[in-house]
Amino acid sequence: MINEKPKSLLGLKDLTRLEIENILQQATLFKEIFNRPIKKVATLSNKVVVSLFYEPSTRTKASFDLALRMLGAGSLGFTPASSSVTKGETLIDTVKNLESMGVDAIIIRHGMGGAPHLVASNTNIPVVNAGDGFNEHPTQALLDMFTMIEEKGYIEGKKVAIIGDIMHSRVARSNIWGLTKCGAKVIVCGPPSLIPVGIESLGVTVTNNVEEAIEDADFINVLRVQLERQKGSFFPSTREYHREYGITAQRLKKAKSDAIIMHPGPMNRGVEISTEVADGPYNVILEQVRNGVAVRMAVLYMLLMRSKEI
């Protein structure tokens, strides 16, 4: 169709189970490149992608950059603090200018939920959501799911406990959309003040009891307490949070002996997770980070080379 918008990855809410599984399958092929002496293919050698990070990032930004490099694409960095954003240029004007210079896709992280959707509706190139406000962080959930499949073979029927600040977590939302579509049993747990009202409507079980959440869980996905997003006091102190909800070795004695410990990072050691657990057996936290490169390669490849099939 003329003027048809290219495909974008804005959230897992928009994807079908098959589309999610196709991305994960493609990521498996790309992960194999890690084992090669020359970690590079020329698949996207004629493409240039700009990364607009309006919020700080270590893992997501670096892994998108690495993914682009390994696919042979050009990567254009953009730092709002040293751009004309500081002179009042709007987000839409910024992306329209970049598009007119010939960039082939936009990766965007923004503090405002819906910013990637706004960009996608005002450009004619693919947009990848690298995290928007409290809304979604689709590539994080995809790499979490990829890691789960690597660890246990499949997701269907597995129990996943998501523990922490559900209210302010885009990672939680994307995980819930993706995992429930793929047949996982998801239980969310945190202080009542950090559980959004009505979250059960997304197909999850809710508890405020961390022992109940981790009992029988195949995966325990520990979320960061997002102190910078909290506009108010949601619990008395980080020490109290750790005592009630922190994932510690003592607490894990009540979990399955082979439960896998996950965390999207960055971690607040001693708050939502103890150092003993973060560095202990059955944690796959750095494997998640490593898988992020393969998953982001798959997303970029599918959007830029197979735009009708994601």
Residues in contact with ligand CP by CB under 6 A are 57-60, 131, 137, 140, 264-266
The distance of closest approach from Cβ of residue 279 to ligand CP in the complex, given in angstroms and rounded to an integer, is 18
Q: Are 254 and 211 in contact (CB under 8 A)?
A: yes
Pick the closer one to ligand CP by CB: 45 or 58.
58
- Cis, peptide link before residue 266, omega less than 30° from 0: yes
Q: What are phi and psi of 295, to 5 degrees?
A: -65, -40
**Burial environment of residue 4 by CB neighbours within 10 A (0 to 12, 13 to 18, 19 or more):** exposed
The distance of closest approach from Cβ of residue 63 to ligand CP in the complex, given in angstroms and rounded to an integer, is 8
Q: Is 145 left (phi over 0), alpha (psi -120 to 50) or beta?
A: alpha
The distance of closest approach from Cβ of residue 171 to ligand CP in the complex, given in angstroms and rounded to an integer, is 7
3 state SS of 108: strand
The distance of closest approach from Cβ of residue 141 to ligand CP in the complex, given in angstroms and rounded to an integer, is 10
Pick the closer one to ligand CP by CB: 58 or 209.
58
Distance CA 155, CA 129 (A): 24
Helices (H), 226-284: 238-245, 249-252, 275-278
Pick the closer one to ligand CP by CB: 179 or 185.
179
3 state SS of 70: helix
The distance of closest approach from Cβ of residue 287 to ligand CP in the complex, given in angstroms and rounded to an integer, is 14
User: Tokens 């523990």 belong to which residue?
Assistant: 163
The distance of closest approach from Cβ of residue 264 to ligand CP in the complex, given in angstroms and rounded to an integer, is 4
Q: What are phi and psi of 179, to 5 degrees?
A: -70, -40
The distance of closest approach from Cβ of residue 130 to ligand CP in the complex, given in angstroms and rounded to an integer, is 7
Pick the closer one to ligand CP by CB: 99 or 175.
175
- Which residues in 247-272 are b (16+ Cβ under 10 Å) and which e? bbeebbeebbeebbbbbbbebbeebb
The distance of closest approach from Cβ of residue 53 to ligand CP in the complex, given in angstroms and rounded to an integer, is 9
Pick the closer one to ligand CP by CB: 24 or 99.
24
Q: Are 83 and 50 in contact (CB under 8 A)?
A: no
Q: Are 134 and 124 in contact (CB under 8 A)?
A: no
3 state SS of 210: helix
Pick the closer one to ligand CP by CB: 16 or 58.
58
Token pair belonging to 159: 């129990």
What residues contact residue 190 under an 8 Å CB cut-off, 6+ apart?
163, 164, 165, 166, 167, 208, 223, 245
